[in-house]
Structure 1
Amino acid sequence: MADDSPRRILVRFAPMIYGPTLLFAIGEGAVIPLIPIIASRLGADIAVAALVASALVVGQLCGNIPAGWAVARFGERITMGVAGAVALVATICLALAPTLLLFAAAVFVIGLCAAAFGLARHSFMTTRVPLSFRARALSLLGGTFRLGMFVGPFIAAVLLTVFGDESAAIWFFGVCLVATVLLVLLGPDPELALTRNGSDAAAPEPREDTGEPVTGSIPLPASASGQQRVGVFRTMWRHRDVLARLGLAAASLSALRSARQVVLPLWGVSIGLDAQTIALVVGISGAIDFALFYASGQVMDRFGRLWAALPAMVLMGAGFFALSITHDLTNASMWFAMFAAVLGVGNGLSSGILLTLGADVAPPTDPAPFLGSWRTLTDAGGAIAPLLISGIAAVLSLSFAAGAMGVIGLFGALGFIRWVPRFVPRAK
């Protein structure tokens, strides 16, 4: 039926999922570059300013598991609304903080809220989107977030030019959060819309065997299944095999994504490029990445999850490894631009894969507690990578650090080859 088409169902999700995601990401993207600057103005040196900026990532790491409990207990919509409201309070504290400690605490709380908001969206899509276009829906979700994080800094630059004060970008984030909360709480409920149109996203649907791993049945809400919900830690223990194996492979992908953001600017500085050239190369790499986000979902839905994960890991792993041997070559700047583009292609092909795999292996009746653990693992991979790069570069060199990321990428590819077929069963 026409009403069951991917386009129509995804349009119904826009007010509840994609719209709030874009607003939250634009506001967050406007504020993130200014956190170290404001911390320095409040008396932090470079090291402390970096530590304050990292409080956002630490907050996300700490927030994933409690967010899993909250979504399982109160539901996605309430969790998203409360997270947005608490983030709004933290944003006001961010703008008015008289001390560095209060400012850092506000950054940490925003990280907690970002984790809750993100997990609620992930859980909602896991249980509401039909399997036949789950990957496209989640890739679009990831692409929406990337668009917001891309646009946000430009809006911050305009606000700084107009008002000459970093607080303007913070208040802009606050306005985005108000709009986000109103949209989540007062906007149309897509689940009710699907029910009215006779389209039950939770109903299993027939499909062809693509010859590659995809999930079996569509998740059912716990209330519909009649099964008892289990706690977060019991869920972690029950699914320890998938978390320790496929979860670690997913964490390696997250590490490569984070490493790309760190290595490329440092590499440009190390080979003597000016700031404008580095920004141009990194910007082009990011544009390539963003341009491919929906193609990733198409590949996963049409051919299977592994056909997106494996090329992404191989491209990024090989890209880092190849970059590591070009530092002292005559045309180092040309190789830098080339492999930055390769990394952009690899990252673009991986868009939505972590969300999709998490949804695929989550318990059908109560995905939120599992997704909290899954997202904690992947976020940890992203958080550890910059520390690993810093340590290796300090002891050896940046080239060795890039090479190490390449090795992680290739081992991660082997992990996906081994564990995706085991934990994401073939269609029957």
Structure 2
Amino acid sequence: MDVSHDPPSLRARDVLWRFGPMVYGPTVLFALGEGAVIPLIPVIAARLGADVATAALVASALVVGQLAGNLPAGWAVARLGERLTMAIAGTVALAGVVVMALAPHLGVFAISVLLIGFCAAAFGLARHSFMTTRVPLTFRARALSLLGGTFRFGMFIGPFVAAALLAVFEDEHAAIWFFGVCLIATVLLVLLGPDPEKQFAAPQPSGSPPGATEQNGTLSEDTGEAITGSLPVVRREGVFRTMWRFRGVLGRLGVAAASLSAVRSARQVVLPLWGVSIGLDAQTIALVVGVSGAIDFALFYASGQVMDRFGRLWAALPAMILMGGGFIALSFTHDLGQSAMWFAMFAAVLGVGNGLSSGILLTLGADAAPKTDPAPFLGSWRTLTDAGGATAPLLVSAIAAASTLAVATGVMGAVGLLGALAFYRWVPRNTD
């Protein structure tokens, strides 16, 4: 894709700043509220009578809802537009939050969690689709890495907000109502802010004359003459037809992306379990995991810089090698004398790898999506990546139960290295 048609004054910083009111701001608010509630879902479920296993199942309903919501979200964005889909998703999520806060028993609470996950999928896909069609290719990766970074910021700060609210109100429901306030602000920002679909038109290919329009992949110049015959329209393909049409890229690059999502998700499960397994106290584990998360967050924009300047592979490959190699190396340190030191060191390595991967899944999905109607494709893409993330904790749990946590950690490392090979094989060397 040639971006030489962009005006000279169109700088990355200016455009990214203008995206704030309709993309980055709502993302921070949504993630901040969600991050405040997520750690308390098992706690509230237990208060409603769930045992440990059932509480974990209720917490997983958020991921299940997100998985189930991606394909319908692709359909909704293609027909309603990004802005309206975000507003509807935020409003329905607000209804789910109210039900969650007032839930009289566990079943109603679980359904509300499922609904919020469904809405989170629609909200996320609408942002992804908007950025795919509106951001010039020259700084697409930076824009999407920043999108991923704003989400990480909200999820990182959210638990601290929840802890402060618990200290003041001594009631877990305070965090739920805080999520509701965040959703109200999100919907207002989306509806009352600048209309992204009017302010940012999708960029036209270079060499197109003024007034040209794209029709089924070809450009037609508006000559001002009367049109005879039927009016040409852009054909929109459904979600499943799009999935079949792009089955090749989804089956290759999409599976590689799912492996990255799996390794990321495994990191969140393995590190706390590893700390418990080697006998560390909760405070030390939280400190190590927190430092790893801080390193991860600090690198999110660097990932976008690398992808825009040198290519997508230069971020994807080091990220997967670091995380895969880090998991494998960690798996051999469980019974060593300095196991706590090795744990802290490889947690930092995993944080670096995860930070370098910020925005990769969003960027690769945007690169592979059709330019005129990306939402149905992105629904399939995000379903694959979310499935990878949802499967990893189950895989770690099953292998650890059948063998040891060290074996499970090594297996996830192997998944990371195989994913690195898949990225090397299938990531395009250019995005034209």
Match of 1:229 among 227, 233, 236: 236
User: Bigger CA drift: 223-232 or 51-60?
Assistant: 223-232
Q: Take 1:130 and 1:319, find their aligned partners in 2: how far apart are those partners?
A: 35
1:192 aligns with 2:183: no
CA distance in 2, matches of 1:11, 1:134: 14
Task: Show the counterpart of 2:19.
Answer: 13
- Other-structure match for 2:291: 284
Deviation at 1:205, TM superposition (A): 5.7
Structure 2 residue runs of 5 or longer lacking an equivalent are 1-6, 208-212, 220-232
Distance 1:203 1:181, change over 3 A: same
**Structure 1 outlier segments of 4+, above 6 Å:** 219-225
Match of 2:359 among 336, 340, 352: 352
In structure 1, what is the equivalent of residue 411 of structure 2? Answer: 404
Please list the CA deviations of residues 1-23 of structure 1 after superposition, one character each: whole Å capped at 9, or x if unmatched. 56411111111110000000000
Structure 2 equivalent of residue 202 of structure 1: 203
Distance in 2 (CA, whole Å) between partners of 1:369 and 1:221 is 18
Deviation at 1:298, TM superposition (A): 0.1
Pairwise CA RMSD: 1.7
Please state how far the C-alpha of 1:220 moved relative to its aligned partner: 7.1
Partner of 2:124: 118
Per-residue displacement from partner, 1:339-395 (whole Å, max 9, x unpaired)?
000000000000000000000000111100000000000000000000000000001
Structure 1 residue runs of 5 or longer lacking an equivalent are: 195-199, 207-218
Deviates more, 1:108-117 or 1:221-230: 221-230
Equivalent residues of 1:221, 1:365 under 8 A apart: no
Match of residue 368 from structure 1: 375
One-letter amino acid of the counterpart of residue 161, structure 2: I
Q: Deviations over 1:210-258 (max 9, x none)?
A: xxxxxxxxx9798997420000000000000010110000000000000
Aligned to 2:328: 321
2:321 is aligned with what amino acid?
V
Q: Does 1:158 align with 2:164?
A: yes
Equivalent residues in 2 for 1:382-393 (5 A)?
382-393=389-400
- Aligned with 1:91 (options 69, 91, 97): 97
* Letter matched to residue 24 of structure 1: F
- After the TM superposition, which residues 11-410 of structure 1 pair with which residues of structure 2 at under 5 Å, given as runs? 11-194=17-200, 201-204=202-205, 226-410=233-417
Partners of 1:44 and 1:100 within 8 A in 2 = yes
Amino acid at match of 1:12: R
Deviation of 1:317 (Å): 0.2
Structure 1 contact 15–188 (Cα < 8 Å) conserved? yes
| SS of equivalent to 1:330 | coil
Return 104-113 or 4-13, whichever deviates more. 4-13
Q: Distance in 1 between matches of 2:191 and 2:354?
A: 33
For 1:276 and 1:240, the matched residues in 2 are separated by 46
Determine helix, strand or coil for the equivalent of 2:314: helix
SS at structure 1 position matched to 2:138: helix
Alignment partners' CA distance in 2, 1:388 and 1:349: 24
SS across alignment from 2:19: helix
Contact 1:64 1:116 in 2 (8 A): yes
Give the counterpart letter for 1:79 in structure 2. T
- The one-letter code matched in structure 2 to 1:166 is E
Q: What amino acid is the match of 1:202? A: P
Give the counterpart letter for 1:126 in structure 2: T
CA contact (8 A) 2:261 2:386 kept: yes
Partner amino acid, structure 1, of 2:294: A
Deviation (angstroms), 1:190: 3.6
The structure having more radius of gyration, on CA atoms, is 2
In 2, are the aligned partners of 1:12 and 1:193 still within 8 Å (CA)? no
Deviations 1:31-68 (A, max 9, x none): 00000000000000000000000000000000000000
Whole-Å separation in 1 of the counterparts to 2:261 and 2:408: 16
**C-alpha separation in 1, matches of 2:319 and 2:124:** 23
Structure 1, residues 127-175: CA drift from partner, whole Å, max 9, x if none? 0000000000000000000000001000000100100101110000000
Once the two structures are aligned, what percentage of the paired residues are identical?
A: 75
Aligned mates of 2:427, 2:161 — CA distance in 1: 40
Equivalent residue pairs, number: 408
Secondary structure in 2 aligned to 1:245? helix
Distance in 1, Cα, partners of 2:73 & 2:215: 17
CA, structure 1 residues 416+223, in 2 after alignment: closer, same or farther (shift >3 Å)? closer
Question: Following the alignment from structure 2 to structure 1, what is the Cα–Cα distance between the partners of residues 29 and 206?
Answer: 33
Deviation at residue 203 of structure 1 after TM alignment:
2.6
User: Does the Cα contact within 8 Å between 1:222 and 1:366 map onto a contact in 2?
Assistant: no
Letter in 2 for 1:368: A
1:178-212: per-residue Cα shift (whole Å, max 9, x none)? Answer: 00000001111244334xxxxx6513369xxxxxx
Q: For 1:356, give the aligned amino acid.
A: T
Distance 1:2 1:191, change over 3 A: farther
1:235 counterpart SS class: helix
* CA distance in structure 1 between the aligned counterparts of 2:218 and 2:297, rounded to whole angstroms: 37
Cα separation, partners in 2 of 1:46 and 1:406, compared to 1, 3 Å: same
- Quick one: distance in 1 between partners of 2:73 and 2:218? 22
Q: In the aligned structure 1, how far is the partner of 2:75 from the partner of 2:218? A: 19
Relative to structure 1, is the Cα distance of residues 42 and 140 closer, same or farther in structure 2, using a 3 angstrom cutoff?
Answer: same
